Amino acid sequence: MTKYTVLPVDTAVLKELRVADDAGRPCAPYDATHVDVDSPLRCCLRPITLGERIALVSYAPLRRWAAARGADPGAYDEQGPVFIHADECGGFTPGESYPFARPGALRTVRRYDARGHIAGGRLLEIPADAGAGFDAAFDDAFNDPNVVLVHVRALEYGCFHFEVRRPSAAE
Question: Model-level pTM?
Answer: 0.92
pLDDT tier, 2 (very low <50, low <70, confident <90, very high otherwise): confident
Q: Which of 22, 15, 13 is nearest to 78 (CA)?
A: 22
Beginning with the edge strand found earlier in the chain, give each strand of the sheet holding 106-112 in spatial order: 6-7, 160-165, 149-154, 106-112, 118-125
Alpha-carbon distance 144 to 136, whole Å? 13
pLDDT digit string, tens, across residues 47-94: 999 999 999 999 999 999 999 999 999 999 999 999 999 999 988 988
The per-residue pLDDT for 109 is 97
